[in-house]
Structure 1
Amino acid sequence: MRALTKALVSVTAAVGIAAGGLATAGTAMAAPASAQQQVASGEVTTLAVVNLGLTRAEARNVQRWLAKHWNYNDAIDGYLGTNSWKAFQRCLAKYWGYDDAIDGIVGSNTIKAVQRLLKANGMYDGAIDGIAGSGTKAGFKEWANSLTV
């Protein structure tokens, strides 16, 4: 019985050491935390930017217009991110029937309000469907190029 207990303790210890070694090897082989954070933040930045087909120069034009008229105070960098869209949603809520949260998320309600703005300015003749298709993107590009700031 004593020999069996000794054998079980030895096997348990060996398994524990091996498992610990594997756990350590797994963390040693993983990317450093800073690299993981960089990848994660890069993905968030990419996902948060919605230029709807605008070039960076056209998006900067929109950001300058938002800064002048809608209290946008972030970077004029040509990336329509969350803060750009929050400012734009304030405009859309006041004039173009946007009735959702001012959250900077470009969902179908935001797109519908953009389509109403574009239609009223003769830059879109499609349905108010909340889909950012080629007609919406072309109209948004035309509108962005029409802005004088």
Structure 2
Amino acid sequence: MRPNALGRTIAGLVAVAGLAAGSLATAGTSFAAPAEAPQTSVGARSAAVLATQNFGLNTAEAKNVQEFLAQYWGYTDSIDGQLGTNSWKAFQRCLKQYWGYTGAIDGDPGTNTIKALQRLLKADYGYTGAIDGVAGSGTRAAFKRFAA
């Protein structure tokens, strides 16, 4: 009888742990996501747009950057004016070779990518701010000059 009681105790603990984990998972996502909406191609397109980071460039300026990246840094995606992951991977290759970027070539224009971009912009495009990794108004204005 004792082994059966032990088995039921273990089964009960596993069930409680499973319920608790499920509750925590649900609680974590319930605050992050709004009410469920049907997934459409428009929703997928919005997610793709959110994955781009043009840092103030309009579509024509971003296309200029992509053409530069295609010509010199191995960018092979479409020239669409949306600086997404592959655009930033190509830019990181440039920044790694010439402007002190030491991070991964991952396409994420994070702090280290922006610092290297700021060094490039300071050298040739009139950026006068700090090399701080923040894409503020000075960085954005110099990036526009780069893209022109």
Aligned letter for 2:70? A
Q: CA deviation at 1:46?
A: 2.0
Q: Map of 1:27-106 to 2, 5 A cutoff?
A: 35-36=38-39, 38=41, 40-106=43-109
State the TM-score, normalized to the length of structure 2: 0.72
Q: CA deviation at 1:42?
A: 2.7
Contact residue 127 and residue 142 of structure 2 kept, 8 A: yes
- For the pair shown, which has the larger CA radius of gyration, 1 or 2? 1
Contact residue 58 and residue 78 of structure 1 kept, 8 A: yes
Aligned letter for 1:140? F
Q: CA deviation at 1:137?
A: 0.1
Paired-residue identity, %: 62
Stretches of structure 1 lacking an aligned partner (at least 5 in a row): 1-29
Match of 1:24 in 2: none
Contact residue 66 and residue 75 of structure 2 kept, 8 A: yes
Distance in 1, matches of 2:76 and 2:144, equals 22
The answer to which structure, 1 or 2, has the higher relative contact order (CA under 8 A, 6+ apart) is: 1
Distance in 2, matches of 1:56 and 1:50, equals 11
Q: CA deviation at 1:67?
A: 0.4
Runs of 4+ deviating beyond 4 Å: none
Task: Give the secondary-structure state (helix, strand or coil) at the position aligned to 1:36.
Answer: coil
Contact residue 123 and residue 143 of structure 1 kept, 8 A: no
Match of 1:119 in 2: 122
